[in-house]
Structure 1
Amino acid sequence: PIPETNPEKGWKYFSSSIYYITAVKTNWEKSRDDCRKRGADLLIINSREEQFGRNEAWLGLTDAVTEGVWKWVDGSALTTEFWAKGEPNNYENDDCAITGFKKASSNILVWADFPCGHPVFGICEKRLTGYSKLD
């Protein structure tokens, strides 16, 4: 059996990845750098179940290369979306995405586009090799 908590302090297991929520609020680029130093990258969400946490936190999702074309940090296209109503809206040239958008009128976790310099937590994801999803 695979434990829910990875031996690496602070990492949580789900499906075929482990996740780490940063303890410090910072901008998108610094959050991504922190994840990379941990051998991971910012979170890529593939299902509703993969969304967790209650704080606003960076996703590995940006439209900085082409406005309006959202891509994950691994270069893949956005296919699973949980945007809050009216989002993304590019209100302040918002090129990065968060989960846990507090201003949403929703009881489920939803996303919003934010300015990349805004300080929020980050969620790192490290894919595990050699494991498959347990049914």
Structure 2
Amino acid sequence: MADYINKQVIELNKVNEENQNRATRSLKTETHLSDRRLRPYRLAAVCLGVLCVLQVTLNISLRLAFYNRGNETVEKNPLQTSYNTKTKERDQLQTSYNTLTKERDQLQKDRDDLMSKFSNLKQKCPEGWQKFESSWYFLSTVKKPWRESRQDCLERGADLVIVNSDMEQEFLFGLTKRAWIGLTDSVTEGTWKWVDGTPLTTPSYWYSQQPDNGRDNPKYGEEDCVELNTESWLPVKAWNDQSCLLNRYWICEKVV
């Protein structure tokens, strides 16, 4: 009897052990199957977490970027304004410098001219010359045609006189000679020019009804050269056009 009971107990234990092993295997199988089913969801959850982290990081980066850009703009505007102001000041200073440089050069030139004139004032006129203001004048003692008269002046380092003022005209008139001056229209009829190439503008000192180009006395041809008639005419109106071939005294001028 006892043996029978022991056998039954042993068999019962085996059955229980087998049931436990079966349950354990079933649990492991279900757990394994559950893990396989949940694995995609876990992977999706991990990916979603990573995306959230990246999104947060991107948002923070963008905010920082906009913030820094805003600060750079705020800082840049005053710097740009300051730069523009300094540039304008530099340009103004450059303009002022250029103006002052021109004024300095002009003052230097004026000073040199005054020094030259002062030096010339201390010089004595050569023999046969007379001084008036800043020029020397030579009155010939013989008569020649206009072109030969001018050539004589050139050989003396001068030229036929150019009249620039009433005072100079009166000075020349006081020489009391009927003499050639440096005025001609031999290049273009009716266009009077001085020997230095400048056109006659003002002042001009033509005698009444002059120049007439020999209208009253055509035997000498065209009258293209100007004489200063100091024998009978008033000093202010004493110019007369004459044929350049006539013999007259002449007046040379040398600016000193």
Superposition TM-score, scaled by structure 2 size: 0.46
1:9 aligns to 2:97 (yes or no): no
- Name the structure where helix makes up a greater proportion of residues: 2
Aligned pairs for 1:85-124 (under 5 A) are: 85-91=208-214, 92-100=221-229, 102=231, 106-108=233-235, 110-124=238-252
Residue matched to 1:49: 167
Residue matched to 1:77: 199
Cα deviation for residue 55 of structure 1 reads: 1.2
Cα deviation for residue 43 of structure 1 reads: 0.4
Aligned pairs for 1:15-34 (under 5 A) are: 15-34=133-152
SS of residue matched to 1:36: helix
Look up the equivalent residue of 1:115 and give its one-letter code: S
Cα deviation for residue 23 of structure 1 reads: 0.9
Q: In structure 2, do the counterparts of structure 1 residues 118 and 39 end up closer, same or farther at CA, with 3 Å as the change threshold? A: same
Cα deviation for residue 97 of structure 1 reads: 0.2
8 Å Cα contact 1:101/1:112 also seen in 2: no
Query: Moved runs in structure 1, 4+ residues, more than 3 A?
Result: 1-5
Q: What is the percent sequence identity of the aligned residues?
A: 42
Q: Deviations along 1:8-55, whole A, 9 cap, x unmatched?
A: 101111111110001111100110000001000000000121121111
SS of residue matched to 1:29: helix
Cα deviation for residue 108 of structure 1 reads: 2.2
Look up the equivalent residue of 2:206 and give its one-letter code: W
Structure 1 residues 50-59 or 117-126, which shifts more? 50-59
Q: Give, in whole Å, the separation in 1 of the partners of 2:177 and 2:162.
A: 17
Look up the equivalent residue of 1:120 and give its one-letter code: R
In structure 1, runs of 5+ residues without a counterpart are 129-135
Look up the equivalent residue of 1:10 and give its one-letter code: G
Q: Deviations along 1:46-69, whole A, 9 cap, x unmatched?
A: 012112111110010000000000
- Name the structure where strand makes up a greater proportion of residues: 1
Q: Give, in whole Å, the separation in 1 of the partners of 2:247 and 2:229.
A: 14
SS of residue matched to 1:35: helix
1:58 aligns to 2:176 (yes or no): no
Of structures 1 and 2, the one with the larger relative CO (CA 8 A, separation 6+) is 1
SS of residue matched to 2:240: strand
Q: In structure 2, do the counterparts of structure 1 residues 37 and 68 end up closer, same or farther at CA, with 3 Å as the change threshold? A: same
**Which has the higher Rg, Structure 1 or Structure 2?**
2
